[in-house]
Structure 1
Amino acid sequence: MNNRERLQAIMNYEKPDRMPAVHFGFTPEVIERWVQEGHLGKDILDLEEYSFEGEEILSQKLGFDFGWHASRITTTELFPFFEEKFVEHLDNGFDKYINCDGVYILQRAGAKSIPAEVGHLLEDRESWEKYYLPKLTYTEERFSQSELNRVISEQKKGNPIGLHCGSLCGRIRDYLGIVEFSYMMVDDEELLEEMFDTIGDLCLKSVKRTLDTGIRFDYAHFWEDVCYKNGPLLAPDVFEQYTARHYKKITDLLMEYDVRTISVDCDGLVDSLLPIWLKNGVNTMFPIEVGTWDASIAPWREKYGRPLKGIGGMRKSVLAQDYAAIDEEINRLKPLARLSGYIPCPDHRIPDDAKWENVQYYCEKIKNILD
């Protein structure tokens, strides 16, 4: 079997020849350290962050089969992005910038944490119509022939290919910031609904344009990241109110084109959003971030049955420990892998402290988890 056939078998509850070793990318810091340790050539540092070429090099050297990354043949992001600009240097040592989403952030030289948000270009209807609405309207310029060619090449290699369907909530949260997002739910519900409808329409048209190329996709994928360790950042009924109809339109379209594995990337405790996604056509949870809340596909499968599938759920922290810790994690995942409809995968990018030999060992062991 090739990797595409393995994925299809598992997602259709059939028996593969083995489990594929799947990843969710690598942090820049771990790649830099592996270069310093001599595992990788320095030329990999010249590649764009999260580049497919770089990930292919890493996959081959470490033993991964493929990464769970959906292609953006037709982008659903701001188009074009805002120009990233330096704004000012502050007395406390921080530098203020405006980023590609129109968000004002603070960064300190050398810091690697997520930057602090201190302001947003999007504040009201005037700024929405002036700055954002034109950048969130579908145009044919959003379509990338070069990305389509890359996807065709991957398909010829026997690798599964995914279609990125955009974000129906997470990007709006990014543009507004969580505080203004929360206020707008009460202060200007009409404008907020218009934002959701605009992005929903953009995502639908983008997905349709890509499907009409005739490429047979193995899975489709949404991004949200609207949860944290205690649950969603907005009430589930509000999430459903604004997103459900758009999810349903897009997933119905995907089904028409025989794309039947439809995943959503959402970190944090997602349990209260699961029934909304399932009811509206999203059937695969990713990356099942274990976290302090011990997320696992097991209780979800018990509650929702086979309609709920998953990719992820492997504690990536063991990659910094030793072989015994990896064996223990593999043994924990073994009964879950045997449920089928589920592929173990590190529950986020390979972290800064992961040891090269540990990742190689994990790849070797995960491939034999079904034995």
Structure 2
Amino acid sequence: MKNRERVEAILHYQSYDQLPVVHFGFWNETLQKWLAEGHINEEEAGTYYEGCLSLNQKLGFDFNWFSTFFYHSTLNPLFERKVIDAMPDGSKKVMNACGVVELEKPGTGSIPMEIEHTLTDRVSWEEHYLPRLQFFADRIQKSVVMNPDSGTFQVFSENGVNILRDESRSQHYGLYCGSLIGDIRNWLGVVGLSYLQVDDEDLFHEMVQTVADLDYRYTEEILKSGAKFDFAHFWEDICFKNGPLVSPAVFEEVIGPHYKRITNLVRRYGIDIISVDCDGCIDSLIPTWLENGVNTMFPIEVGTWNASIAPWREQYGRELRGVGGMNKTVFSKDRKAVDEEIERLKPLVDLGGYIPCPDHRLPPDAEWDNVRYYCDRMHEAFRQ
């Protein structure tokens, strides 16, 4: 079987010969460490997000799970990055691509602190954001398609669409369908989003409608091109370690129907695996996703609350699938820890409809030999 066929079989509870061993990319600092240790070359060290084919082969991964076609679905043009203020300790106040001023500190790789936001009310929405959320074909035509088999890149409007029309490919490939509230949260900030829902409910609904209409239009145009995809995918990141950053009731009432519109669309084109990437404790939002056509959770963060597909499957049945939930902290330990993690995963894989994957990119404490050992052992442990 090809990896594409294996994924299709697993997520539809069918028989397969081998569980694919997948990842979700690497921190740049991780690859720089492995480069310094002599495990990879300069070209491989530059592929921190997708992971080039030769890097996958050296480690033993079959592919990056997140092989997905992205069109430019958000602000266009983006805000120009510019330094607002530089401080004596090397810290900088910087306007980012979303129009948010952040505090960047030297030597830190975490998410910067938000200081102020361009989007604060209807005036700033209509002046700075609404004009950047209009449909035009160049957003698609200038997008880049990665050939999932060769790792090469081509422009969608030229030969890229032909790559995706060819269903003989061996690797699975998805279509990104946008973000219905995660991008809005990025523009407003958590506090701004929270107040807006009360202070100007009409504007909040208008923002969601605008973003959803744009996502729907682009998804439809791409599917009409004849390009073929194995799954559809959304991104939100609207939760944290204790639960959602938006009321589940608001999520169900305001966001849910727009999910339904888009999932109905992709199903008309034969796509029935539809996933969402939402970090944090997502439990209270899962019902809305399932009711509106999203059936695959990615990631499944082991985190501080020990997320697992098992209780979700018990509650929601086989309609809920999952990718993720592999505790990547074992890569900083030893082979015994790796073996114990694989044993923990076995009963979860046996549930069906589930593919283990390290949640998020591999961090710098991941030891090369432990990652290679994991890939070898996963191929041994999950061969049918």
**TM class, shorter-length:** over 0.9
- Which moves more between the two structures, 234-243 or 144-153? 144-153
How far residue 49 of structure 1 moved from its aligned partner, in angstroms, is 5.0
How far residue 243 of structure 1 moved from its aligned partner, in angstroms, is 0.7
Work out the CA distance in 1 between the residues paired with 2:225 and 2:70.
10
Residues 277-325 of structure 1: CA deviation (Å, up to 9, x unaligned): 0000000000101101010000000111100000001001011111110
Mapping of residues 63-102 of structure 1, within 5 Å: 63-91=60-88, 93-102=90-99
Secondary structure (helix, strand or coil) at the match of 1:305 reads helix
Residue 259 of structure 2 is aligned to residue 239 of structure 1: no
Residue 32 of structure 2 is aligned to residue 19 of structure 1: no
- Which moves more between the two structures, 287-296 or 208-217? 208-217
Residues 189-239 of structure 1: CA deviation (Å, up to 9, x unaligned): 110110000000011111111111212211111101111111001110011
Identity between Structure 1 and Structure 2 (%): 51
Residues 126-180 of structure 1: CA deviation (Å, up to 9, x unaligned): 1111111111111111103642345754865411000011111111000000111
User: Which amino acid in the other structure matches residue 275 of structure 2?
Assistant: S
Residues 70-105 of structure 1: CA deviation (Å, up to 9, x unaligned): 534432121121111111113554211101111101
1:347 alignment counterpart: 359
Residues 42-67 of structure 1: CA deviation (Å, up to 9, x unaligned): 2334x4652x4x43232121111111
Work out the CA distance in 2 between the residues paired with 1:273 and 1:3.
30
2:318 alignment counterpart: 306
- Is this contact kept in 1: 2:44–2:52, CA < 8 A? no
- Is this contact kept in 2: 1:35–1:42, CA < 8 A? yes
How far residue 181 of structure 1 moved from its aligned partner, in angstroms, is 0.8
User: Which amino acid in the other structure matches residue 140 of structure 1?
Assistant: A
Residue 113 of structure 2 is aligned to residue 116 of structure 1: yes
How far residue 257 of structure 1 moved from its aligned partner, in angstroms, is 0.6
How far residue 367 of structure 1 moved from its aligned partner, in angstroms, is 2.3
1:40 alignment counterpart: 40
Secondary structure (helix, strand or coil) at the match of 1:245 reads helix
Secondary structure (helix, strand or coil) at the match of 2:177 reads strand
Work out the CA distance in 2 between the residues paired with 1:131 and 1:327.
52
- Is this contact kept in 1: 2:69–2:176, CA < 8 A? yes
2:306 alignment counterpart: 294
Residues 110-132 of structure 1: CA deviation (Å, up to 9, x unaligned): 22121111011111111111111
2:103 alignment counterpart: 106
Aligned CA distance change for structure 1 residues 321 and 151 (closer, same or farther; 3 Å): farther
- Is this contact kept in 2: 1:24–1:348, CA < 8 A? yes
Work out the CA distance in 2 between the residues paired with 1:42 and 1:277.
41
Work out the CA distance in 2 between the residues paired with 1:67 and 1:305.
27
- Is this contact kept in 2: 1:70–1:220, CA < 8 A? no
How far residue 358 of structure 1 moved from its aligned partner, in angstroms, is 0.9
Work out the CA distance in 2 between the residues paired with 1:218 and 1:366.
24
Work out the CA distance in 1 between the residues paired with 2:381 and 2:220.
38
Aligned length: 368
- Is this contact kept in 1: 2:118–2:124, CA < 8 A? yes
Aligned CA distance change for structure 1 residues 334 and 49 (closer, same or farther; 3 Å): closer
Q: Report the aligned-residue RMSD.
A: 1.6
1:273 alignment counterpart: 285
Work out the CA distance in 1 between the residues paired with 2:337 and 2:160.
37
- Is this contact kept in 1: 2:44–2:55, CA < 8 A? no
User: Which amino acid in the other structure matches residue 344 of structure 2?
Assistant: R
2:261 alignment counterpart: 249
Q: Which runs of 5+ in 2 are unaligned?
A: 146-155
Aligned CA distance change for structure 1 residues 209 and 234 (closer, same or farther; 3 Å): same
2:30 alignment counterpart: 30
Work out the CA distance in 2 between the residues paired with 1:228 and 1:268.
4
How far residue 349 of structure 1 moved from its aligned partner, in angstroms, is 0.9
1:357 alignment counterpart: 369
User: Which amino acid in the other structure matches residue 329 of structure 2?
Assistant: S
Aligned CA distance change for structure 1 residues 76 and 361 (closer, same or farther; 3 Å): same
Q: State TM-score, norm by structure 2.
A: 0.92
Selected match of 2:220 from 205, 208, 227: 208
Secondary structure (helix, strand or coil) at the match of 1:166 reads coil
- Is this contact kept in 1: 2:59–2:372, CA < 8 A? yes
Mapping of residues 259-270 of structure 1, within 5 Å: 259-270=271-282
How far residue 2 of structure 1 moved from its aligned partner, in angstroms, is 0.7
- Which moves more between the two structures, 65-74 or 244-253? 65-74
